A and B are shown apart, each in its own frame.
Chain A
Amino acid sequence: MQTKKNIEYKHCNKKTKVSLSKFISECLGLSLEELLRDKELVCREKERSIDIYVARKNLVEELSTMQNKGLTPFTVGIHVVRLRGEKLVPLLGLAAIIRLENKIPPPRGYVVINTRAEKLFLYGRDVFGENVAEVRTPECKENYVLVLNQLHDPLGWGRLLRRQNTIYIQNIIDAGWYLRSGV
């Protein structure tokens, strides 16, 4: 039984799709279409943010049927991105979708870190340049990068910063969050 106001899931509007498409293209060099082959985007608008999910097309039809019956789903598919105003925050689910579509590594916007840094990153720490084995610079203003280990497993998202003559990866979100979230 829902105690909060029921927030609907619906097809994302054009503006949201354009924002996401731009992010994926500029940061990673991928197209939204190639990630959404048999899937669709679903949005859930809250007061100050929009949560974007990716789910199978046939599941999105199911969603409409349920909502028409007055049922509000708790979640659908994989939660990939949160949009706060103009600011787009990639989530672990986006890395999952990229992996499911065999697009790892993407053409750009990723770093490969060594084993020592992998442990630290998964504890929520940032990564210093000397622990970065490979870097492909993104072409987006946010400078988001997909952080990979040496086996090319996606560990999470970071922001590529430059300090003096070296690079630095600021931890945005890492897979260790699944343990730290307390759920």
Chain B
Amino acid sequence: MSVTNQHQEDEETLPQKNFTEELAILRKALTKVIERNAEKAKRITARYGWIHVHQAARYIELLSMDDLEKILETKPLKTIRTNTLLTTRDRLIERLEAKGLLVKEYKPTPYGIIVEHTPIPIGALHEYMLGLYTIQGPASMLAVLAQEPEQANRVLDMCAGAGIKTTQIAQHNNRAKIIALDINNRKLLALKNNLSRLHVDNVVAINMDAREAPKLGKFDSILLDAPCSGEGLIPYPAKTRPRTIDDILTRVHLQLQLLDAALSTARRSAIIIYTTCSMSFEENEYVIDTLLKKRGDFEIEQPRIPGEPGRTSYAGLRTDPSLARCRRLFPHIHRTEGFTICKLRKT
């Protein structure tokens, strides 16, 4: 890279975009959705009382009443991720079967295992304590597979939490410098323990707001597992919180700021994976499309993972056609938690 190009890249301004207009447009569209689907939404929430009538209305608009009911009735597969730094999937399956578990390969991944039956809680087995596996949902595993961080030198995990995806990145590339951020100290304590349990020695974790990530310099590969509504878990009453459109708009605002920061932190040609455990258009395609219109310095690529195409229209809003390259995962189609995974490349 020439000195001039390097200088230009380093001089890129910190993200300070104002998204007021885009949030106002979204609010207007959602208000109409709530009104239009009010009756149907009430019928849904009468049966499935743990979701808010706003959520029901939004998903009836996005999918259909029939699909929404199927989602609410389908429990995703229970899966674990083999820690390939220590063992192989086959060897782990052998050990688990010897302890009376009924398991099989989760084929979309090279290390996922479906747990069909276990006589002991899956988080209490010795193999878990010894770091031979960690508990991870099937769709969650696909985000890092989409990222393909094997050749990256410097990798950023912007909202690392307890480090489940951070340690997965390390399995793909245990020589890269992996920087993990989280705003929550308690989650970083869990991350620290997971690094030790899973034998990962190439991560440094920082307690910081990921919106300030551009201070860390440029990265070759970025994972933004953005804080979201968690609507991908709506089949589980205990794991779901009712969300109004105000809750959604608050999250969308944060997601816009985080993705803006991610794009400012990415080197030219870097990959950014934007992912949420949500099936909503607002928190996924709308966020990416907004940044595409405001910045225009990235493209959307189709990741090499299963899933339905991204949505390019919803509630009267239309996105760039390239948003169809995102991948959407649904409980009733893929037997995974609801997830959206988009692969972006900085240009």
Contacts and interface: CB of A to CB of B under 8 A. Distances in A.
B199 A178 contact: no
A183 B201 contact: no
B199 A78 contact: yes
Interface in A57-90: 58-59, 62-63, 65-66, 69, 71-79
B114 interface: no
Interface in B75-90: 85-86
B129 A175 contact: yes
B215 interface: yes
Given A56-B177, A59-B177, A100-B85, A74 B201 contact: no
B177 A92 contact: no
Contact of A96 (B199, B206, B209): B199
B86 A99 contact: yes
B86 A77 contact: no
B189 interface: yes
A73 B206 contact: yes
B179 A62 contact: yes
A76 B205 CA distance: 6
Contacts of B64: none
Interface string B118-135: 000001101001111000
A122 interface: yes
B244 interface: no
Contact of B204 (A76, A92, A175, A176): A76
Given A75-B188, A183-B190, A66 B204 contact: yes
A54 B70 CA distance: 49
A106 interface: no
A79 B192 contact: yes
A118 B126 contact: yes
Given A58-B175, A74-B206, A153-B132, 17 more contacts: A55-B202, A59-B204, A62-B177, A66-B216, A71-B208, A72-B206, A73-B205, A74-B191, A74-B192, A75-B205, A76-B203, A77-B204, A78-B196, A92-B196, A122-B129, A175-B197, A178-B197
A96 B196 contact: yes
Nearest to B194: A178
A164 interface: no
B62 interface: no
Nearest to B163: A75
Given A153-B130, A181-B193, A78 B179 contact: no
Nearest to A175: B129
A153 B201 CA distance: 19
Contacts of A54: 201
B18 interface: no
Nearest to A3: B185
Interface string B195-232: 11101111111111100000111000000000000000
Given A78-B201, A79-B192, A179-B124, A66 B206 contact: yes
A178 to B, nearest CB: 5
A79 B196 contact: yes
Nearest to B185: A74
A122 B215 CA distance: 43
Chain A binding surface, main DSSP class: mixed
B294 interface: no
B interface, how many residues as a size bin?
A: 35 or more
B295 interface: no
A93 interface: yes
Given A69-B215, A183-B190, A1 B196 contact: no
A11 interface: no
Residue picked from B126, B130, B179, B197, most chain A C-beta under 10 Å: B130
B110 to A, nearest CB: 20
Contacts of A30: none
Contact of B207 (A74, A77, A100): A74
Interface string A167-183: 00000000110110101
Contacts of B185: 74
Contacts of B190: 183
A131 B301 CA distance: 57
B196 A55 contact: no
B123 A179 contact: yes
B213 to A, nearest CB: 11
Contact of A75 (B85, B86, B204): B204
B186 interface: yes
A91 B185 CA distance: 21
Interface in A1-26: 1-2
Contacts of A100: 85, 199, 201
16 contacts: A58-B202, A59-B177, A62-B204, A66-B206, A69-B216, A71-B208, A71-B216, A76-B205, A77-B195, A77-B203, A91-B196, A96-B197, A100-B199, A149-B126, A175-B126, A179-B123
B206 A178 contact: no
Given A75-B192, A183-B186, A55 B200 contact: no
